[in-house]
Structure 1
Amino acid sequence: MTNVIHYEAGSSSSTSVSSQGNETNDDRMIAEILSEEYANLDGAVGRRLSSLSSIPHVPRINTYFPTVNDASLDHQRLFQRLNAYGLFEVKVSGDGNCQFRAISDQLYRSPEHHKHVRKEVVKQLKESRSLYEGYVPMKYKSYCKKMRKSGEWGDHVTLQAAADKFGAKICLLTSFRDTCFVEIVPRNQAPQRELWLSFWSEVHYNSLYELQDMKVKYKPRKKHWLF
């Protein structure tokens, strides 16, 4: 991945993204090129947010959790952004599976297939170990075993694995102070779809839709894809 902006481990979610001169300019240029390249794939949410500057994604495990005060400010910031862009969150359960539930909702119009999503993500982690191991500061087998458990929080490594497994560009509208838009692009393939999630940083994920299209688009899909 070319010239990425790194998150500072252990820093407040309000200052989670750091940038440095030329790298920031390069990242924005890459984001603009990607935005144009995938314009034909964009749905309503993508068109609504096309003017936003995005940054490439850096996989990382969860190492920091915000204080109650920071989390409250972050949630308020995210709420304001949702309103500003006319977006609607399909709220999923905060049972530790929220990342997988939100991805399930985007893929299948139901959060209830999160176990299948988690299983596929863990399979991707195991089968393509070399792609992710460098981002995991613990024994990799132990990490995969942990992620296999229902209720284990997904992280930015599992987001990358999900993008790779499902051939999807995952777009996050975040509560980060320094940037509100982060995208995770699948490696070694062009994305076949886009998944839109809201990210209350280090706390919760929800599934994201454009408010005016919500009633028309949100129709549960049949389960035949599981078989």
Structure 2
Amino acid sequence: MEPLAEMQTRHRREERDLQARVTQKKKSATKKTRKGVNSDCEDLERQLKERQKQERASREGEATASGIQGSESDASTHEDTPVQTTREKEGIAITLQGTSIAEVASENGQPKKRNRAKERLTKRAAEQEAAVEEAKKEAANQPDPKAIERALMLKEFKVNGLVEKVIRPDGHCLFSAVADQLSQAGIPLGPDAAGDMKEDQRYKVVRKAAARYIEGHPDDFVAWLDEPLDQYVDKIRDTAEWGGHLELLALSKTYNVEISVLQNGGAQKIEPDLKGSPEPEKIWLAYYRHGFGLGEHYNSLRKAP
């Protein structure tokens, strides 16, 4: 049997060790984890008190049953007797937040600390991986707008007897597509076009033509703008600003052409409506919302051979 004095000394040492652990846990707690840490500390203190109480009661019961009152010589005898106490040298089992775990004692008598930060990171990584997998499943079940749009466009091409010339998606696609259509129809691009101008530079002439018309007819456009007319004209003429319906309208009137724009599920016509002008030539464009990485895009449509 462990001598009473040694047991009391051990109990005091265990209480000091536990108090040090509790203090460290509370210092490292955050606002979010403070409640759980306090609960853990209360569990540890309660378990230590209960175990020490059981040890004292067990020792008193054994001493009474054997009739041994204990003397210095008896204590010396008992020191040489290998008795296993309630606290095993290999480790103790404690319960933290309802989960039973084994903490193996280290060489200095302190139990190894649970790495809560690592556990939280592992849990968070598992949750993120599960969310990614769920998103992939949902995406797989969603219709592909790019594929749907492409199928409808191909159907329109066939109905109208057209083939597609892909235009580089560089911000100038509308103007490059119109330039290609005008060249196919034999319509001069304008006075800014040089005879030896390369195909990939013709958009510059068409940009200037659109900007010139908008600048010369402010009443037709200013109500649709969110900025001063002169700033808008400068962007259309000199930058890679995307063109849209206003630029198509300006080009339709500049070149006296009817522009048919095939798009997802139908076609849009932009007519010049110029009184006293000859019958307008018809040109074709393809407009995509989903088919190209940069977003909205125009291609040129030529008559099928």
Q: TM-score range by the shorter chain?
A: 0.5 to 0.7
Unaligned runs of 5+ in 2: 1-142, 185-198, 290-294
Query: Partner residue of 1:94?
Result: 169
Q: How does 1:186-205 map to 2 (within 5 A)?
A: 186-189=272-275, 190=277, 191-201=279-289, 203-205=296-298
- Identify which of 213, 217, 231 aligns with 1:142: 231
Q: How does 1:179-218 map to 2 (within 5 A)?
A: 180-189=266-275, 190=277, 191-201=279-289, 203-212=296-305
- Identify which of 204, 208, 215 aligns with 1:115: 204
- The amino acid across from 2:245 in the alignment is H
Normalization by structure 2: what TM-score?
A: 0.43
- Per the TM alignment, residue 72 of structure 1 is displaced from its structure 2 partner at its CA by 4.8
- Identify which of 230, 233, 241 aligns with 1:152: 241
C-alpha separation between the residues in 2 aligned to 1:149 and 1:69? 36
Unaligned runs of 5+ in 1: 1-67, 213-227
Q: Is the 8 A contact 1:122 1:147 kept in 2?
A: yes
Secondary structure of the structure 1 residue equivalent to 2:283: strand
> Looking at CA atoms only, which structure, 1 or 2, has the larger radius of gyration?
2
Could you list the per-position Cα deviations for residues 141-167 of structure 1 after superposition, in whole angstroms to 9, with x for gaps in the alignment?
222122123421111000000001111
- The amino acid across from 2:274 in the alignment is N
- The amino acid across from 1:131 in the alignment is D
Secondary structure of the structure 1 residue equivalent to 2:171: coil
Secondary structure of the structure 1 residue equivalent to 2:298: strand
**RMSD of Structure 2 on Structure 1 (CA):** 2.2
Residue 75 (str. 1) matches residue 150 (str. 2): yes
C-alpha separation between the residues in 2 aligned to 1:182 and 1:194? 12
Could you list the per-position Cα deviations for residues 1-55 of structure 1 after superposition, in whole angstroms to 9, with x for gaps in the alignment?
xxxxxxxxxxxxxxxxxxxxxxxxxxxxxxxxxxxxxxxxxxxxxxxxxxxxxxx
C-alpha separation between the residues in 2 aligned to 1:193 and 1:122? 21
Q: Is the 8 A contact 1:102 1:111 kept in 2?
A: no
C-alpha separation between the residues in 1 aligned to 2:227 and 2:263? 27
CA 1:94–1:130: 2 relative to 1, 3 Å:
same
CA 1:192–1:137: 2 relative to 1, 3 Å:
same
C-alpha separation between the residues in 2 aligned to 1:129 and 1:75? 37
Runs of 4+ in structure 1 over 6 Å off: none
Q: Which has the larger share of helix?
A: 2
- Per the TM alignment, residue 77 of structure 1 is displaced from its structure 2 partner at its CA by 2.2
Matched pairs, number: 142
Secondary structure of the structure 2 residue equivalent to 1:125: helix
Q: Is the 8 A contact 2:164 2:300 kept in 1?
A: yes
Q: Is the 8 A contact 1:171 1:195 kept in 2?
A: yes
C-alpha separation between the residues in 1 aligned to 2:246 and 2:252? 10
Q: Which has the higher contact order (CA 8 A, sep 6+)?
A: 1
